[in-house]
Amino acid sequence: MLSLHLTVVGPVLSLRGTRLVSKPAPSRTRRHQTRAFLRERSAGTIAPPIIVPFEKDSEHLSAWKPESWRQRKAHQQPNYTDSKSLTDAVDIIARMPPLVFAGECRNLQSRLAKCATGEAFLMQGGDCAESFSQFSANSIRDSFRVQLQMAVVAMFGGGVPVVKVGRMAGQFAKPRGDIINGQAFTANARVPDPMRLVQAYNQAAATLNLLRGFASGGYAGLQRIAQWNLDFMAYSDQGGAYMDLAKRAGEAINFMTACGLDSRTPIMTETEYYVSHECLLLDYEQALTREDSTTGLWYDCSGHMLWCGERTRQLDGAHVEFMRGIANPIGVKARPLTAHEVSDKMDPGQLVSLIATLNPENTPGRLTVIVRMGADKLRDNMPRLVEAVRDSAQVVTWVCDPMHGNTESVAGFKTRRYDRIRAEVEAFFDVHEELGTVPGGIHLEMTGDNVTECLGGGASIDEGDLDSRYHTHCDPRLNAEQALEMSFYVASRLAQRKEKMAKAMPPTAILH
């Protein structure tokens, strides 16, 4: 994680609080542990979560190796014309230090296990695609800062811990992206260049180095809550609401300090922050996959959490083959099959099979399911997926991606409307409330910059504003004010959920 207690990613992180499993149990025992984990949640006493997803001698790993994906069909891969250059680039990366470490990934898994049971909430966000040309320390700082604000709002208002995960330090890969080719409209620029893989590694390392400093060097300390507000938000409604909350939080911190809380403890001066990206370019991912000396498991050390996209989650495909063997927390994007859609969408049976393949031991925190459906479709289609997973007794962390299903073209710009993004988040919470399941997090494309890419919200961006500050390298992002507005809404829903659960809890559970 980027922090750990804090630990941040990158070459050096502390691993405070990491609990290793000294002798992993066999599969049947692991299933019993998972059931016990869920039973204890309902009783109000939570055991420490399992933090390794499987054992190194697990049956499903018998035919798996970091390179076994090469025996399967790999979709969405660049067509490199210079095979020697590709080999050279991969060899360079393979000799480089890992970007993250296995212990950090285990820590994140333990945090995501709590998101699966409602004891915490995941906030994952960042650029649609990172850019070589737009890379800057200020941009990284501002994105990190707005995520700190969002987490404080959700924690203070919603009353649950927030797990912070950025789409950063690796989110370069798209079928066309800076990690593959240049963006100029010339034939030469569009030829896939393997050495861009090395440039992406170097930029990811620099990003993580800066994030590590922010997370552990005092910048993220709770005493600085009031200083995180971005300058351009000083007079906005959301900026004002945040400052009101920061004032109340500061008063609470001062009270706790007066009661004896040591303001120098890591919980006050550091934060946990993790990074994630789509697992797309398998040559790059394999080059950063390393065997952990502590557990004997293989971790993809390009990021703490990786996810499989809509176009690469085939059960017999190369991406699923690669991801089923790495021990990182992983995610899958899921959009349901409806009566009028073709078979690239997911039906409940496919999702259950995919979960069983990627999380064979049914370990809490191992697998996140990221649903992306659009505001109009979620209420009708998501329940079938949730019910199928629930009825299969599979443990996943459900996360809402309200961005991709709400994209449209306005005045020649690809954009999204804040009202529809919020409507999908609202429906996500409503469905889980109706089914008695757990809304585990949200996944946003967002930035700390003052951009005009998504319409509406408190920022009141209209069609005429789109060409003012439309800077995205790929898809439209919420700006800082819109993202913060979303966090206030999420906080209100988390508070409502907590209140309802408290009322429903039997007195004996409260006594525990």
Looking at residue 324, its pLDDT comes to 98
Q: pLDDT tens for residues 350-373?
A: 999 999 999 999 999 999 999 999
Beta strands 298-300; 289-291: pairing state = antiparallel
Give the Cα separation of 494 and 439 in Å (integer): 9
Alpha-carbon torsion angle 447, 177, 336, 410, nearest 10: 60
Q: Which residue has the higher pLDDT, 189 or 336?
A: 189
8 A C-beta contact, residue 421 and residue 394: no
Phi, psi of 137 (to 5 degrees): -65, -40
Phi, psi of 344 (to 5 degrees): -80, -10
Looking at residue 32, its pLDDT comes to 53
Q: Is residue 15 included in any domain, yes or no?
A: no
In what order do the strands lie in the sheet containing 454-455? 407-410, 413-417, 454-455
430: confidence class by pLDDT, cuts 50, 70, 90:
very high
**In the predicted structure, residue 23 carries a pLDDT above the cut 60:** no
232: confidence class by pLDDT, cuts 50, 70, 90:
low
**In the predicted structure, residue 294 carries a pLDDT above the cut 90:** yes
Q: Which residue has the higher pLDDT, 229 or 400?
A: 400
What residue has token string 């920061």?
A: 246
**In the predicted structure, residue 234 carries a pLDDT above the cut 90:** no
Q: Is residue 17 included in any domain, yes or no?
A: no
Q: Which residue has the higher pLDDT, 38 or 151?
A: 151
Alpha-carbon torsion angle 282, 283, 286, 287, nearest 10: -150
237: confidence class by pLDDT, cuts 50, 70, 90:
confident
Looking at residue 248, its pLDDT comes to 85
**In the predicted structure, residue 438 carries a pLDDT above the cut 60:** yes
In the three-class reduction of DSSP (H, G, I as helix; E, B as strand; rest coil), residue 416 is classed as strand
254: confidence class by pLDDT, cuts 50, 70, 90:
confident
Q: Is residue 183 included in any domain, yes or no?
A: yes
Number of domains in the chain: 1
pLDDT mean across residues, the chain: 86
Q: pLDDT tens for residues 386-422?
A: 999 999 999 999 999 999 999 888 888 999 999 999 9
Looking at residue 202, its pLDDT comes to 98
231: confidence class by pLDDT, cuts 50, 70, 90:
low
205: confidence class by pLDDT, cuts 50, 70, 90:
very high
Give the Cα separation of 275 and 124 in Å (integer): 9
**In the predicted structure, residue 340 carries a pLDDT above the cut 90:** no
Which of 194-208, 370-384, 472-486, 497-511 is predicted with the least confidence, judged by mean pLDDT?
Answer: 497-511
Looking at residue 175, its pLDDT comes to 72
How much is the average pLDDT of 101-127? 97
Q: pLDDT tens for residues 116-147?
A: 999 999 999 999 999 999 999 999 999 999 99
Q: Is residue 102 included in any domain, yes or no?
A: yes
Q: Is residue 20 included in any domain, yes or no?
A: no
Give the Cα separation of 214 and 169 in Å (integer): 15
Which of 44-48, 76-80, 150-154, 355-359 is predicted with the least confidence, judged by mean pLDDT?
Answer: 44-48
Q: Is residue 19 included in any domain, yes or no?
A: no
Contacts of 145 (CB under 8 A, 6+ apart): 228, 230, 448
Q: Of how many residues is the chain composed?
A: 512
Looking at residue 354, its pLDDT comes to 96
Q: Is residue 106 included in any domain, yes or no?
A: yes
Give the percent of the chain with pLDDT over 70.
Answer: 86
List the beta bridge partners of residue 163.
122
**In the predicted structure, residue 30 carries a pLDDT above the cut 70:** no
29: confidence class by pLDDT, cuts 50, 70, 90:
low
Q: Tell me, what CATH number does 93's domain have? A: 3.20.20.70
Looking at residue 411, its pLDDT comes to 87
Looking at residue 432, its pLDDT comes to 97
Statement: the pTM of the whole predicted model exceeds 0.75: yes
Side-chain half-sphere exposure of 93, counting CA atoms within 13 A = 31
Side-chain half-sphere exposure of 8, counting CA atoms within 13 A = 24
Of 142, 147, 135, which is closest to residue 171 (Cα–Cα)? 135
Kind plus residue range of the DSSP H or E element containing 267: helix 266-269
8 A C-beta contact, residue 275 and residue 301: no
Which of 48-57, 315-324, 412-421 is predicted with the least confidence, judged by mean pLDDT?
Answer: 48-57
Give the Cα separation of 438 and 15 in Å (integer): 28
Q: Is residue 488 included in any domain, yes or no?
A: yes
Q: How many CB atoms lie within 10 A of CB 303?
A: 30
Range of the domain at 89: 27-511
20: confidence class by pLDDT, cuts 50, 70, 90:
very low
